[in-house]
């Protein structure tokens, strides 16, 4: 067998288990030289774990990997790179303040230097020029500052940087590289990917945009729950086929009993009308009622995250109105929204955790007024309430004096939920509240939300990519696409499959 | 959100197992040592110097002098606790102190001593608080790094002081009614010491016993997180800088009223000991937080260490060396503590 017949990348029987969960269960993936292979799968399907196994970040429990016919040892990032594998993540890691040239040379070996060690910029510049031309990126100026580039140009720079030695590159993995790109710019990226594939590089293209798969890829692999559920040539497939396969076919009503029905008659507490905000929202309207759990689903870039940022008071409102209890909020800012009773649990941990303070202090910080009696802070009353909340929300270990950073992700998350619910908000907005939380913790967090809605009449906006959570708890689910509310599901229509299908539906 | 779309799988976490009882007892011992190591060190130093310099160190006159010498630093440092607890540096305090020394002396000199003492004090405190307000607005409104803002503004305050003083010592027409304040006593205790005790109690009360204090600490530990949780962090920062400026000018008043002259270069010498004491204090009593009891013990360690060594005949250079060493030691201790907390988790 000549070397040219060997596959660029061959993953065989990859198994990876995390405590309480099998993330990958015997995944095979072969990418031929010059092939563009799309890798698809919804939240938690295992595609991200698979990439991390390939990059050397995760050590798999079982399986093997070859690049261009030679066996690759797992868990060794340097060996991966030396074998000619390059991985580009969505967060492409360019330094804005530096030029294209400086970014291309970032962290890669040494510069060409003259006497006294001074960099020979002219030589560097012409080398960069040649490299960019070679990749069909002649429109990029090596001296341009990266901050001034368009989104796709930045991605191009990131790819050009990864292709430091065109002859040595065997496999290029683009992990959601197009997620931040506007529709019309994606074609530029496609051209670059095709150029590389034409030279025999095997490309693994991770995306959630199904039309890109149809346009660009030769073959496709779909993962669901850690197994390959589809692996074939793209030419015979339609985007509807793909959406169906990603969603899965089994009936996914998980714990239907949690969901109350008919909770769609209360007065609207929070209303967004024709909202254009931040970078993503392009005329979205929605309304959540008293005592209702409203799910908001959508892929990255669909506007779900921007809804959360808007209600935090962090995304600029360009057009439209945000109204709480019928009254428009003139300038939706952090303080004004909080005063109106809109409480937000952001997805990012570093927006929630006050490191260095105790569990009790983290819970009570949102409102200290109950402890301010007779001119002094009643530490004992604070402690008693924190102990009661830790007990009620089953935060483990039940030690309110412990620094918050010593809690596990799930328990810390329950503490942040307690922080918000303690203030008896009118509207509770949660972004990925069960992300990274184990099964037991997830069930408890969802129970707390439903209780708040049912017992306190809180309007709950559950923004989640976990379709099981949405299906299990929501009275209604809205699906966002391209910055607008594209679909609404109620009652029996709310199933995991339906939500995923609509997330991936065409424009 | 795409990160969360795809990476939920590798973040399953489990609560750490409950700690065995004996381990917990060991931790309690360590916690106690963590909190009280500083005060213990202070006691050990006192014992050692008493033995090393018999009849000289442990006398009421020596100890009173040591304490009295620290009053200006103590006033500056108590104010400094506010910005430090709120997570920002204020290194303009030396400049503010100088500006206040010159302002108070100059108001008397310009009015040939006819300026009423309370009015001179009020003007000085207003000048100091305004200086803090300028810092605060630059930090909060324009979002400039507090370290850079106060580095620059401190130099400006010093420059303005030199301009006002015309580069000379301001000492004409300072009334005895004013210097009596700095040199007088209350029940046999020098006034500046009384001031420090009162100020320490107030600062302790605000930081430890009011919701405001809790919000100051929260701002320091996580400004953005606290803001999103509903803490008015901008207002907290403004308050912190104003209090810091106010206290620095209070210290300036203590200086002028005690020395009776205004020198346009006095402030700088109080900057380092204030920081050293505050950081040393943050390693004890309530480790990890800038706190008043810790600050006072830290000040005492610095003062007694220097005094005891000087009584041993170790000369002038010990002051800077000791203070700088203590500052770095304090920061190293804090770092080690954070590492051990993490390893514990």
- Distance separating alpha carbons of residues A197 and A205, to the nearest angstrom: 11
Q: How far is B309 from chain A (nearest CA, A)?
A: 36
* Residue A53, pLDDT above cutoff 80: yes
CB-CB under 8 Å, A397 with B15: yes
Q: Are residues A290 and A420 in the same domain?
A: no
CATH number for the domain whose boundaries are B55-335? 1.10.3470.10
Cβ contact A377–B214 (<8 Å)? yes
Q: How far does the CA of residue B231 sit from the closest CA of chain A (Å)?
A: 7
Question: Cβ contacts (< 8 Å) between A47 and chain B: which residues?
Answer: 6
Whether B210 contacts chain A with CB within 8 A = yes
A349: in domain: no
Select from A19, A351, A465 the Cβ nearest to the Cβ of B14: A19
Compare A7 and B243 and report the one with higher pLDDT. B243
Q: Test B6 with A179 for CB contact under 8 angstroms.
A: no
A65 falls within a domain: yes
The answer, yes or no, to whether residue A465 has pLDDT greater than 50, is yes
Give the single-character DSSP code of A145: B
User: Considering the domain boundaries, does residue A83 fall inside one?
Assistant: yes
Q: Give the count of alpha carbons within 13 A of B327, CB side only.
A: 11
- A223 plus A263 within the same structural domain: no
Element (H, E) at A37: strand A36-40
User: Looking at the predicted structure, is the pLDDT value of residue B339 above 80?
Assistant: no
Q: Note whether A402 and A465 are same-domain residues.
A: no
Report CB contact under 8 Å: A376, B210: yes
Range of A373's domain? 354-424
Q: Are residues A480 and A506 in the same domain?
A: yes
pLDDT at B5 over 60: no
Q: How far is B337 from chain A (nearest CA, A)?
A: 11
- The nearest alpha carbon in chain A to B5 belongs to A43
Neighbour count for residue A447 (Cβ, 10 Å): 14
Q: Give me the residue spans of the domains in chain B.
A: 55-335
How many pairs of residues across A and B have Cβ atoms under 8 Å apart? 156
Of A23, A299, A405, the CB nearest to B345: A405
A306 & A318 share domain: yes
In this predicted structure, the answer to whether residue A113 has a pLDDT above a threshold of 80 is: no
Nearest Cβ partner for B6 among A47, A353, A356: A47
CB B291 within 8 A of CB B207: yes
Indicate whether A107 and A177 sit together in one domain: yes
Give the pLDDT confidence of A205-254 residue by residue, as tens digits: 998 788 888 889 999 999 988 899 999 999 888 888 888 888 775 433 34
A157 & A240 share domain:
yes
Judge if A455 and A387 occupy the same domain.
no
| Structural domain ending residue among the three candidates A424, A455, A474 | A424
- Nearest CB to B288: which of A49, A338, A356? A356
Burial of B23 (0-12, 13-18, 19+ CB in 10 A): exposed
The CATH number given to whatever domain includes residue A237 is 3.40.50.300
Pair A283, A389 in one domain:
no
Residue B264 is encoded by which pair of tokens?
Answer: 């346009």
Q: Is the ipTM of this structure higher than 0.90?
A: no
pLDDT digits (tens, 9 = 90+) for B33-62: 778 888 999 999 999 999 998 888 889 889
Residues of A in contact with B335 (CB under 8 A): none
Nearest chain A residue to B229, by CA: A366
Contact (CB<8Å) A350/B225:
yes
pLDDT, tens only, A75-84: 888 889 889 9
Which residues of B, range 14-33, sit inside 8 Å of A by Cβ?
14-16, 18
More confident residue, B201 or B323: B201
- The C-alpha atoms of residue B274 and residue B244 are separated, in whole angstroms, by 12
Instruction: Give the nearest partner residue to B13 out of A312, A353, A409, using CB atoms.
Output: A409
Give strand pairing partners of A64.
A12
Residue A386 lies in a domain: yes
Domain count, chain A: 3
| B41 contacts B296 by C-beta, under 8 angstroms | no
Among A58, A179, A354, beta carbon nearest to B218: A354
Is residue B255 a contact partner of residue B195, using CB atoms and an 8 Å limit? no
């Amino acid at each position: 067998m000549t070397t040219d017949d060997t596959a660029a990348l061959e993953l065989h029987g990859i198994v990876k288990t995390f405590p309480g969960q099998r993330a990958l269960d015997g995944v095979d993936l072969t990418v031929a030289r010059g092939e563009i292979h799309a890798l698809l799968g919804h939240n938690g399907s295992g595609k991200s774990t698979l990439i991390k196994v390939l990059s050397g970040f995760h050590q798999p429990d079982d399986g093997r990997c070859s690049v261009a016919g030679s066996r690759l040892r797992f868990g060794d990032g340097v060996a991966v790179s030396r074998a000619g594998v390059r991985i580009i993540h969505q967060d492409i890691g360019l330094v804005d303040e530096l030029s294209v040239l400086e970014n291309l040379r970032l962290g890669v070996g040494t510069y060409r230097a003259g006497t006294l060690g001074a960099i020979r910029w002219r030589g560097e510049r012409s080398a960069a020029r040649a490299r960019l031309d070679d990749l069909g990126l002649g429109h990029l100026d090596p001296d341009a500052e990266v901050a001034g580039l368009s989104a796709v140009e930045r991605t191009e720079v990131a790819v050009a940087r990864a292709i430091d030695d065109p002859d040595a590159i065997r496999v290029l993995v683009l992990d959601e590289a197009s997620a931040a790109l506007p529709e019309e710019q994606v074609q530029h990226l496609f051209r670059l990917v095709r150029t590389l594939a034409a030279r025999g590089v095997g490309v693994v293209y991770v995306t959630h945009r199904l039309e890109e798969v149809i346009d660009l890829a030769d073959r496709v692999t779909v993962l669901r729950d850690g197994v390959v559920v589809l692996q074939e040539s793209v030419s015979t497939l339609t985007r509807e086929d793909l959406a169906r396969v990603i969603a899965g076919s089994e009936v996914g009503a998980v714990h239907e009993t949690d969901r109350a029905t008919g909770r769609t008659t209360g007065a609207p507490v929070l209303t967004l009308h024709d909202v254009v905000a931040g970078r993503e929202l392009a005329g979205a309207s929605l309304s959540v009622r008293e005592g209702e759990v409203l799910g908001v689903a959508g892929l990255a870039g669909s506007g779900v995250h921007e809804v959360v940022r808007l209600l935090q008071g962090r995304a600029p409102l360009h057009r439209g109105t945000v109204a709480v209890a019928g009254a428009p909020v003139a300038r939706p800012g952090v303080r004004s929204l909080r005063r109106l009773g809109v409480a937000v649990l952001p997805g990012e941990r570093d927006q929630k955790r006050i490191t260095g303070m105790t569990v009790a202090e983290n819970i009570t910080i949102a409102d200290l007024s109950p402890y301010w009696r007779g001119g002094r802070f009643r530490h004992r009353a604070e402690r008693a309430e924190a102990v009661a909340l830790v007990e009620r929300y089953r935060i483990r270990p039940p030690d309110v004096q412990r620094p918050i950073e010593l809690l596990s992700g799930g328990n810390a998350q329950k503490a942040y939920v307690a922080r918000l619910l303690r203030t008896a908000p009118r509207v509770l907005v949660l972004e990925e509240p069960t992300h990274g939380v184990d099964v037991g913790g997830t069930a408890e967090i969802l129970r707390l939300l439903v209780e708040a809605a049912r017992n306190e009449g809180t309007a709950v906006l559950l923004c989640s990519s976990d379709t099981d959570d949405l299906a299990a708890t929501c009275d209604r689910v809205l699906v966002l696409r391209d910055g607008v509310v594209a679909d609404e599901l109620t009652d029996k229509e709310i199933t995991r499959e339906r939500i995923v299908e609509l997330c991936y539906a065409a424009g | 959100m795409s990160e969360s779309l795809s990476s939920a799988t590798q973040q399953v976490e489990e609560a750490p197992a409950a700690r065995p009882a004996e381990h917990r007892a060991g931790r309690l011992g360590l916690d106690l040592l963590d909190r009280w190591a500083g005060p213990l060190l202070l006691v050990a130093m006192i014992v050692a110097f008493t033995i090393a310099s018999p009849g000289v160190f442990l006398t009421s006159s020596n100890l009173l002098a040591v304490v009295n010498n620290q009053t200006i630093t103590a006033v500056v440092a108590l104010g400094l606790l506010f910005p430090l607890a709120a997570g920002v540096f204020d290194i303009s305090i030396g400049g503010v102190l100088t500006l206040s020394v010159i302002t108070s002396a100059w108001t008397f000199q310009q009015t040939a001593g006819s300026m009423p003492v309370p009015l001179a004090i009020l003007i000085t405190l207003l000048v100091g608080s305004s200086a803090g307000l300028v810092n605060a607005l630059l930090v909060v409104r324009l979002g400039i790094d507090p370290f850079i803002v106060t580095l620059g503004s401190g130099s400006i305050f010093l420059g303005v002081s030199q301009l006002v003083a015309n580069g000379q010592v301001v000492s004409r027409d300072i009334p005895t009614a004013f210097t009596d304040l700095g040199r007088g006593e209350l029940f046999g205790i020098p006034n500046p010491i009384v001031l420090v005790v009162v100020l320490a109690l107030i600062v302790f009360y605000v930081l430890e016993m009011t919701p405001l204090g809790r919000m100051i600490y929260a701002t320091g530990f996580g400004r953005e997180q606290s803001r999103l949780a509903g803490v008015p962090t901008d207002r907290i920062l403004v308050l912190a800088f104003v209090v810091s400026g106010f206290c620095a000018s209070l210290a300036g008043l203590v200086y002028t009223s005690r020395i009776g002259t205004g020198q346009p270069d006095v402030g700088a010498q109080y900057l380092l000991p204030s920081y050293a004491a505050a950081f040393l204090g943050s390693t004890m009593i309530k480790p990890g937080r800038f706190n008043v009891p810790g600050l006072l013990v830290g000040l005492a360690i610095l003062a007694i260490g220097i005094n005891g060594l000087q009584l041993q005949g170790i000369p002038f250079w010990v002051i800077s060396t000791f203070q700088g060493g203590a500052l770095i030691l304090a920061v190293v201790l804090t770092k080690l503590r954070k590492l051990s907390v993490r390893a514990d988790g």
